[in-house]
Structure 1
Amino acid sequence: MSVEMHIQRSNVSILFLENYPLINSMRLHHLKFGWWNVSLSPPRSKSKGNPENYQTVCNVLIDTLTTHELSVLAICEVSSADVNEIERCLEGTPFKIQSFDHDVGQTRYDTAVIYNSLSVEISHIEDLKRFPRDQVIKIGQVIQVVDLREKDIFKLVLCHWPSRVNTSGESRRYLAAEGLYHATSDMMRNNEHIIVMGDFNSSPYDRELLDGLKATRCHEAVRKHPTELFYNPFWRALSPKEIYNYTMKDKKHFPSGSHRYKDPYGEYWHTFDQIIFSGNFIGSSVWHLNESTATALSTDLLISSILDKSSIIDHLPVVCEIIKHP
């Protein structure tokens, strides 16, 4: 074999391993998760599903799934009809989609999960809800995720909490947070691995997440009380990625977080989409959060779409990675 051929084959091997790190024996076993509010069919609103919007959403989905090597990408504001269209876009790939959309009371659950069928399998466990004064509050949907390589099991809770548009939203979100903490307390005491993700319509510092769900930013507190506290890495997303100086004096937009809309207090960017972890991911089990990967995906295409008033996109996808290490 010539030296040139040997180098070419070596380069191909390196490229293959870089593109498929799960089979690279030099890299720790990992799984990547994501969440995105795709804005196609919000509950109680007219569907925005049309060929142009489906193409836009599918382009982002495929790019996000492949570029970031996601095993699981949960989405919300989708209907069963939207899921059928997305399923067509996924044909010929290892990615499958399962809809969890259905009516509940005067509203509906509006979620679906796209997953790599070569990496994980998923199944629906239960819907969590509360009924204060004959109202229905959607707490979340519990999905079981099984890692096909290690056979480890994770509980994934998908949340789309009440909007901030109505004044009743805050109290309803707090009830959802309290209900979710109560529903997951036994799981945490049993050392189950829980990942809560969603569009909470709340910032990490709001009382529903900080007090109701007990999702904190403090590593030391979580390490000391891993069966009582959740860890929220998306506190780090509150500030813009860019640090201001005089060279930015003409810059108009400073994206941060995952969602852009002007609230009554004048803020434009908000960290409403988050992925939150049970305490055992912070040092008390073989699975660990790789916190540097927890971020909102602010590509030029996504940011330009959010700033374009004619685009349906108003949320950024958020992603994270967990790694197995004894």
Structure 2
Amino acid sequence: MFWTQVSLLPVMWWNTGLSPPIPKLDSTDADREFVAEEIKTMHSQTPIGIFGLGEVCSNDLSLIMAKLDDKSIELVDSTDRTKRLKHDTALLYDTSRLTLESQRTHITNIDGKRLKVAKRARFKTFLGGKIDVFYSHWPSRLTMEESNPKRAQLGIALRGAIDSTMTADGYYILMGDYNDDPSSPSLAYYLRATRDRTLATKRDRTPYNPFWRKLGESIHHEDSTGDNSVCGTCFYSGGDYSQWHTFDQVIFSSAFLGNGQMTLEERYTDVMASDELKLRIKRERFDHFPVLSCISLRSKKT
């Protein structure tokens, strides 16, 4: 069957650092203004298709929406700071290409402790296809180290959430700040997110993670000036073995690797390290870069 591309849909994620899930917030108006301007700039360069946001609250989102000033962009405000388990994620999406059909929160209980697995939003594209988007912000390694078995349970719980809600065509996207690298057991073993496209195409339950490609320096040594290369998506100056991690990822179900109505356009997968954010990331509250990938929305060729 032959298909033709009708629309390229950018899929982005950014842990903004504005309103982490802690009792007391200390971000300033200047911080919020900076984030809103960065998102506006990204939107002008790469028009928003689906954009997941982490560490935000309703006040942050109001400013972002006002700054965007785009009637085609709608907000899914999934934040809630009224309870002990604080939710700090949200979605922006393009209403000219997507219709929101349903939402769901996935929580797991581990040894009496409730942990956030993901928020899910189901979209219908303007061509009729359906996509489940699971967006997550998992616990920091400062409070839950990499070897903690609860991290494995989060991967298992996310796998279970996917299996329990997956559409017949099997199109789903995972995005978030997992506070785990692509190689971490929670993602590589328990979620089963692979770097191997061939294996993913053979196994319906094995998603493909293009952010395995983003584990190292972005520029070759001989081409780098020393400060223009980035080595992941998250910077932590106190790292023992590396100051960088690739905690922020966008992961795709194997359906996006087939010859169907939606396909992954992997060449667009990247870390969106703007010059301004590069200057701030090592000395201010902002410690994550946004990440980008794209999918192609297609129709049958006549």
- TM-score, with length taken from structure 2: 0.90
Identity of aligned residues (%): 24
Q: Tell whether the 8 Å contact from 2:48 to 2:92 is kept in structure 1 after alignment.
A: no
Which moves more between the two structures, 103-112 or 258-267?
Answer: 103-112
Aligned to 1:86: 64
> Which one of the candidate residues 265, 270, 277 is aligned to 1:302?
277
Letter in 2 for 1:313: F
Q: CA deviation at 1:252?
A: 5.1
Alpha carbons 2:5, 2:297 under 8 Å: kept: no
Q: Does 1:324 align with 2:297?
A: yes
Number of residue pairs aligned between Structure 1 and Structure 2: 295
2:80 is aligned with 1:102: yes
2:221 corresponds, among 244, 258, 272, to 244
Q: Is contact 1:296-1:318 (8 Å) kept? A: yes
- In 2: Cα distance, 1:189 partner to 1:62 partner: 33
Can you give the 5+ residue segments of structure 1 that lack an aligned partner in the other structure?
Answer: 1-25
Q: 1:155 matched to which residue of 2?
A: 132
| CA distance in 2: counterparts of 1:66 and 1:93, whole angstroms | 14
Residues 139-186 of structure 1, C-alpha deviation per residue, up to 9 Å, x if partnerless?
001111222x31221100011001100245632222111001012124
- Structure 2 gap segments, 5+ residues each: none
Residue type of the alignment partner of 1:219: R
CA apart distance, 1:79: 1.2
User: Match of 1:231, SS?
Assistant: coil
Deviations 1:30-69 (A, max 9, x none): 2111100011110015323432112101111111122112
Residue from 231, 235, 251 that aligns with 1:276? 251
Letter in 1 for 2:278: I
Counterparts in 2 of 1:155-174, with a 5 A limit? Answer: 155-167=132-144, 170-174=148-152
Asked if residue 266 in structure 1 is aligned to residue 244 in structure 2, the reply is no
1:290 alignment counterpart:
265
In structure 2, relative to structure 1, the CA distance for the partners of 1:265 and 1:43 (3 Å cut) is same
Determine the structure 1 residue equivalent to 2:113.
Answer: 135
Relative to the length of structure 1, the TM-score reads 0.84
Q: Name the CA distance, whole Å, in 2 between partners of 1:96 and 1:323.
A: 21
1:183 corresponds in structure 2 to: 161
Alignment check: 8 A CA contact 2:141 2:179 kept:
yes
The answer as to whether partners of 2:5 and 2:296 remain within 8 angstroms in 1 is no
Greater Rg over alpha carbons, structure: 1
Query: Is contact 1:159–1:197 with CA below 8 Å preserved after alignment?
Result: yes
Alignment of 1:176-215 (within 5 A): 176-188=154-166, 190-215=168-193
Are 1:223 and 1:284, in contact at CA under 8 Å, matched by a contact in 2?
no
Deviation at 1:259, TM superposition (A): 0.8
RMSD value, Cα: 2.2
Relative to 1, partners in 2 of residues 1:104 and 1:200: Cα closer, same or farther, differing over 3 Å? farther
Give the Cα–Cα distance (whole angstroms) in 2 for the partners of residues 286 and 39 of structure 1: 35
CA–CA distance in structure 2, aligned partners of residues 189 and 58 of structure 1: 34
Mapping of residues 1-20 of structure 1, within 5 Å: none
Which residue identity does 1:56 align to in structure 2? F
Q: Which has the higher contact order (CA 8 A, sep 6+)?
A: 2
Offset, 1:253: 6.4
Assess, with a 3 A threshold, how the Cα gap between structure 1 residues 93 and 125 changes in structure 2: closer, same or farther.
closer
Q: Which amino acid aligns with 1:316?
A: F
Task: Say which SS state the counterpart of residue 221 (structure 2) adopts.
Answer: coil
- Deviation string 1:272-297 (CA, Å, 9 cap, x unpaired) is 00000111111153311011111110
Whole-Å Cα distance in 2 between the matches of residues 283 and 167 of structure 1? 37
Give the deviation of 1:266 after TM superposition. Answer: 2.7
Q: Which residue of 1 is the match for residue 49 of structure 2?
A: 71
Counterpart Cα distance in 2 of 1:95 and 1:324:
18
1:232 and 2:205 correspond: no
Q: CA deviation at 1:85?
A: 2.3
Quote how far apart the aligned CAs of 1:200 are: 0.4
The 2-side partners of 1:266 and 1:123 are apart by 44
How much does 1:263 deviate?
A: 4.8
SS at match of 2:52: strand
SS in 1 for 2:111: helix
- Distance (Å, rounded) in 2 between the aligned partners of 1:124 and 1:112: 14
